[in-house]
């Protein structure tokens, strides 16, 4: 049967990936039957035969032979006299099957059919992409950067499907150009305006977890379990791991010989510092490990309020807090405890003065802010630069200047 320029549309169907043959046949037949329904009011007496491989189709209509006098419906019935012209042996009650030519439907109907087919193909493709990535949430995908915008970048996978990495899901130091290869984890898949929206992330803890699975066979095989990951993308991350096999050192396995395993992950994350910590159910020990590399003297826990007071040597306080307060912040997130650090009283300088002694000159809330970063003596405050004090305490510049002036005056 003449296919009337529908060959291209059939070819598109043949090229569809991951669409099973039965689905193709069902959609194609459904489109043709809709056309018959509009034209004849019913499609029940039609047989639609489709050959996807050859790109053609046939439509056959079945009509019952009736006496000329009883003829009423030209679609469902055919007069005996007309049937005899086809075959003289035909009798009343038998069926006549004849082919319906698509060109008889008219140009407008054929164009509408072609458009309907094209739309159904697009819908199938979109739904297929949606279902494919819906099942891949939490998986790493690799794609090529196609377009870079201010708020997001457009990435194409190996089948040219469009994926998005919003700015908020990019590591702050990420910089991509068109054509660059990029790895990220699928975090969200949804249909937006009838189009699949696949959102990738490089800042999600899941991305770091998947990278560990790729680099550390023991994690992939289930011999080592990642209990929890917390991270400040591009800056620092803490990963708590546990092994169920006493012969396996989980931290050593994750780091690798001379850091061989973890170096690849660090490079992928733009030199993000990664602390791998041996998980334990002993809360005090877990807090101690999470504050590494600082060495802890003692810890006082308030389990009801989920707070921990940590006491250290004066020179260890800055290590526990970390640059910009990142170490103590991540340790709190990892352990689930609000951590405050203090200098061990016995190790304080005899000439030093507790900041509580200045309560008549400095507001209590300012003193509390200083204590929260481990500064409980005047000298411990003066050891920090003005910029560090402003950044860590989040106090106003004028307030910090007043504090420094008051403490300096004490020793002068």
DSSP percent split of the chain into helix, strand, coil, nearest 5: 45, 25, 30
Domain boundary among 69, 96, 131: 131
Query: How many folded domains does the chain comprise?
Result: 3
Q: Give the pLDDT score at 10.
A: 58
Task: Identify whether residues 33 and 125 lie together within a single domain.
Answer: yes
CA neighbor of 162 nearest in space, from 185, 144, 135: 144
Distance CA 111, CA 103 (A): 11
Tell me the per-residue pLDDT of 106-124, one tens digit each, with 9 for 90 and over: 778 777 777 787 787 788 8
Look at residue 133 in the predicted model and tell me its pLDDT: 93
Helix residue spans in 216-323 (DSSP H): 217-220, 250-255, 260-268, 283-290, 317-321
pLDDT by residue (tens digit) across 57-100? Answer: 788 888 888 888 888 888 888 888 888 888 888 888 888 888 88
**pLDDT for 26-66, tens place per residue?**
777 888 888 888 888 888 888 888 776 666 678 888 888 88
- CA distances for 85 relative to 79, 89, 97, 253, angstroms: 10, 10, 13, 87
Name the band, by pLDDT with cuts 50, 70 and 90, for residue 345.
Answer: low
Look at residues 94, 109, 131 and tell me which one is the last residue of a structural domain: 131
The answer to whether position 157 is within a domain reads yes
Based on the fold, state whether residues 93 and 198 are members of the same structural domain: no
pTM for the full predicted model: 0.66
Does 331 reside within a domain? no
Asked if residue 89 is part of any domain, the answer here is yes
Residue 283 lies in a domain: no
Using the predicted structure, report yes or no on whether residue 244 has a pLDDT greater than 90: no
Q: Is residue 159 part of a domain?
A: yes
Q: Are residues 68 and 120 in the same domain?
A: yes
> Does 305 reside within a domain?
no
- Pair 80, 176 in one domain: no
The CATH number for 397's domain is 1.10.150
**Cα radius of gyration (the chain):** 37
Looking at 179, 203, 227, the residue that finishes a domain is 203
The per-residue pLDDT for 176 is: 93
Q: Are residues 13 and 118 in the same domain?
A: yes
Give pLDDT, residue 98.
Answer: 81
Give the pLDDT band (50/70/90) at residue 3. Answer: very low
Do 12 and 38 lie in one domain? The reply is yes
Nearest to 308 by CA among 281, 342, 344: 342
pLDDT given at position 182: 95
User: Are 112 and 146 within one domain?
Assistant: no
How far is residue 52 from each of residues 15, 21, 112, 133, 209, measured CA to CA in Å?
11, 9, 20, 27, 45
Is residue 68 located within the same domain as residue 112? yes
Residues 59, 94 share a domain: yes
- 95 and 143 belong to one structural domain: no
Could you tell me the CATH number of the domain that includes residue 183?
Answer: 2.40.50.140
User: What does the pLDDT read at residue 13?
Assistant: 58
Q: CB neighbours of 162 closer than 8 A, spacing ≥ 6?
A: 146, 154, 155, 156, 198
Q: Is residue 332 part of a domain?
A: no
181: Cα separation from own chain's centroid? 17
Contact 116, 31 (CB under 8 A): yes
| Mean pLDDT, residues 144-153 taken together | 94
| Residue 219 within any structural domain of the chain | no
Which pLDDT band, with edges at 50, 70 and 90, does 360 fall under? confident
> Which residues constitute the domain of residue 96?
7-131
> Looking at the structure, do residues 178 and 193 belong to the same domain, yes or no?
yes
CATH number where 109 lies? 3.30.1480.10
305 or 5, higher pLDDT: 305
What are 229-242's pLDDT values in tens digits? 999 999 999 999 99
Task: Please tell me whether residues 119 and 158 are part of one structural domain.
Answer: no
């Amino acid at each position: 049967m003449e296919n009337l320029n529908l060959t291209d549309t059939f070819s598109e169907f043949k090229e569809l990936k991951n669409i099973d043959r039965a689905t193709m046949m069902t959609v194609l037949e459904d489109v043709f039957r809709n056309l018959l329904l509009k034209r004849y009011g019913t499609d029940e007496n039609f047989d639609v035969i489709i050959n996807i491989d050859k790109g053609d189709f046939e439509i056959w209509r079945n009509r019952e032979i009736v006496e000329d006098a009883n003829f009423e419906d030209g679609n469902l019935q055919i007069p005996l006299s007309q049937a005899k012209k086809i075959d003289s042996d035909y009798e009343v009650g038998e069926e006549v099957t004849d082919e319906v030519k698509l060109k008889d439907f008219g140009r407008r109907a054929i164009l509408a059919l072609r458009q309907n087919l094209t739309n159904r193909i697009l819908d199938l493709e979109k739904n297929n992409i949606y279902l494919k990535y819906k099942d891949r949430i939490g998986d790493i995908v690799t794609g090529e950067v196609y377009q870079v915008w201010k708020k997001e970048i457009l990435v194409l996978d190996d089948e040219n499907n469009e994926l998005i990495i919003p700015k908020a899901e990019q590591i702050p130091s990420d910089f991509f150009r068109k054509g660059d290869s990029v790895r990220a984890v699928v975090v969200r898949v949804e249909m937006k305006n009838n189009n699949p929206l696949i959102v990738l992330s490089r800042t999600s803890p899941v991305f770091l977890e998947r990278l560990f699975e790729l680099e550390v066979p023991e994690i992939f095989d289930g011999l080592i379990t990642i209990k929890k990951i917390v991270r400040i993308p591009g800056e620092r991350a803490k990963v708590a791991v546990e092994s169920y096999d006493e012969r396996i050192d989980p931290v050593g396995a994750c780091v690798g010989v001379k850091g061989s395993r973890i170096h690849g992950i660090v490079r992928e994350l733009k030199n993000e510092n990664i602390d791998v910590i041996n998980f334990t159910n002993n809360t005090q020990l877990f807090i101690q490990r999470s504050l590494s590399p600082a060495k802890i003297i003692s810890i006082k826990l308030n389990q009801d309020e989920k707070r921990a007071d940590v006491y250290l040597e004066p020179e260890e306080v800055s290590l526990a807090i970390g640059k910009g307060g990142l170490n103590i912040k991540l340790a709190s997130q990892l352990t689930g405890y609000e951590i405050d650090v203090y200098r061990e009283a016995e190790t304080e300088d005899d000439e030093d003065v507790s900041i509580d002694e200045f309560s008549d000159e400095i507001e209590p809330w300012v003193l509390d802010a200083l204590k929260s970063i481990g500064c409980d003596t005047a000298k411990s405050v003066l050891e920090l630069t003005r910029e560090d004090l402003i950044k860590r305490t989040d106090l106003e510049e004028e307030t910090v200047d007043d504090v420094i002036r008051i403490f300096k005056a004490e020793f002068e």
